[in-house]
């Protein structure tokens, strides 16, 4: 995304938060950004298209930060707590914009935004599942989906207090507390013999198989683009990564070794974190 589009997005977020989405005209957005109305339409076809790009921009910023944390040399539990903390912070930073959407029900019902929100929902399901598996291991395989959804519910409940009620919380401590609650739930499943209501079969019926392929395809496309602009050892590293992740059973040791070569360079840390998250390395 070019800098002019980002400039429009960042000013529009502030304007929508202040005036509301429905009450803000394209001309007002152009005035706020110091551009002509025609220049606005060079970057965005409509106000609805701008809103979709705001969502994309907003979630990509969170994704970049959580992927960067995934690249850190930390235990899975510490990584996940940091990622939840960052997510709380990023969402709270845009509290007024989110409240505007809630009050106005500003999200238009069109196919592009619906598809985006569906993808974000599936991303969230898998994000929690992968991280909880990395913390608690295969022993909670049978209950992993239910535990994941319970944690998402707890996250949303605390988020409502922060966003809607404007409750001031130490989000780092909150992230620690949420995982302690998960310890109790996981321990209960392990020792009670209770069977989960949310099963793998149920979730598999909700999340299309092509979604997993789509996520991997995005990683592959990014690596191909990076390889074209790289040379020397980095180009070789990316080629090895591309070969490995497209195998039926990628070898974790090979992936970790190649990612270690990339993580020392800032411009490659994002994709390295994304690969670590996808394969739970």
- Measured CA to CA, the distance from residue 24 to residue 15 in angstroms comes to 7
Max avg pLDDT among 96-110, 127-141, 175-189? 175-189
What's residue 270's pLDDT? 67
- Over residues 40-64, the pLDDT tens digits come to 999 999 998 998 899 889 888 898 8
Virtual torsion, Cα 156, 159, 161, 164, nearest 10 deg: -100
What's residue 185's pLDDT? 95
12-16, 22-26, 102-106, 255-259: lowest mean pLDDT where? 102-106
Share of the chain above pLDDT 70, in %: 96
Structure tokens at 262: 């990339």
- Who wins on pLDDT, 84 or 142? 84
What's residue 107's pLDDT? 60
What's residue 188's pLDDT? 94
What's residue 19's pLDDT? 85
Q: Cα–Cα distances in Å, from 213 out to 18, 128, 199, 208, 209?
A: 40, 18, 21, 9, 7
- Rounded to two decimals, what is the model's pTM? 0.75
Query: Does residue 281 register a pLDDT over 60?
Result: yes
- Who wins on pLDDT, 160 or 263? 160
- Over residues 191-200, the pLDDT tens digits come to 998 999 999 8
- Measured CA to CA, the distance from residue 84 to residue 168 in angstroms comes to 16
Mean of pLDDT over the chain: 87
- Over residues 201-241, the pLDDT tens digits come to 898 888 887 777 777 887 898 899 889 888 898 999 999 99
- Over residues 74-115, the pLDDT tens digits come to 888 999 999 999 999 999 988 888 888 777 665 656 778 888
What's residue 106's pLDDT? 53
Query: Does residue 280 register a pLDDT over 90?
Result: no
29-38, 117-126, 206-215, 218-227: lowest mean pLDDT where? 206-215
- Measured CA to CA, the distance from residue 63 to residue 48 in angstroms comes to 23
- Measured CA to CA, the distance from residue 66 to residue 64 in angstroms comes to 6
Q: What is the DSSP string of 191-205?
A: HH-PPPSS-HHHHHH
């Amino acid at each position: 995304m070019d800098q002019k589009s980002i400039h429009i997005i960042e000013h529009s977020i502030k304007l929508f938060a202040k005036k509301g989405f429905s009450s803000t005209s394209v001309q007002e957005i152009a005035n706020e950004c110091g551009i002509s109305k025609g220049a606005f339409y060079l970057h965005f076809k409509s106000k609805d298209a701008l809103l979709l790009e705001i969502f994309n921009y907003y979630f990509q910023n969170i994704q970049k930060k959580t992927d960067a944390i995934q690249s850190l040399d930390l235990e899975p539990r510490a990584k996940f707590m940091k990622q939840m903390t960052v997510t709380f912070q990023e969402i709270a930073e845009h509290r007024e914009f989110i409240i505007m959407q809630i009050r106005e029900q500003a999200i238009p019902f069109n196919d592009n935004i619906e598809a985006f929100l569906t993808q974000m929902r599936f991303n969230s399901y898998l994000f929690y599942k992968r991280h909880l598996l990395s913390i608690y291991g295969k022993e909670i395989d049978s209950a992993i989906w239910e535990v994941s959804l319970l944690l998402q519910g707890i996250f949303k409940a605390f988020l409502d207090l922060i966003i809607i009620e404007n409750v001031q919380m130490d989000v780092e401590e909150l992230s620690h507390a949420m995982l302690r609650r998960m310890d109790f739930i996981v321990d209960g499943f392990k020792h009670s013999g209770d069977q989960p209501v949310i099963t793998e079969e149920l979730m598999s019926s909700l999340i299309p198989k092509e979604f997993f392929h789509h996520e991997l395809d995005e990683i592959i496309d990014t690596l191909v683009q990076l390889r074209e602009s790289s040379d020397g050892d980095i180009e070789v590293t990316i080629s090895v990564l591309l070969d490995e992740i497209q195998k039926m059973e990628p070898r974790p040791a090979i992936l970790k070794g190649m990612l270690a070569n990339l993580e020392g360079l800032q411009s490659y840390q994002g994709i390295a974190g994304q690969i670590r998250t996808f394969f739970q390395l």
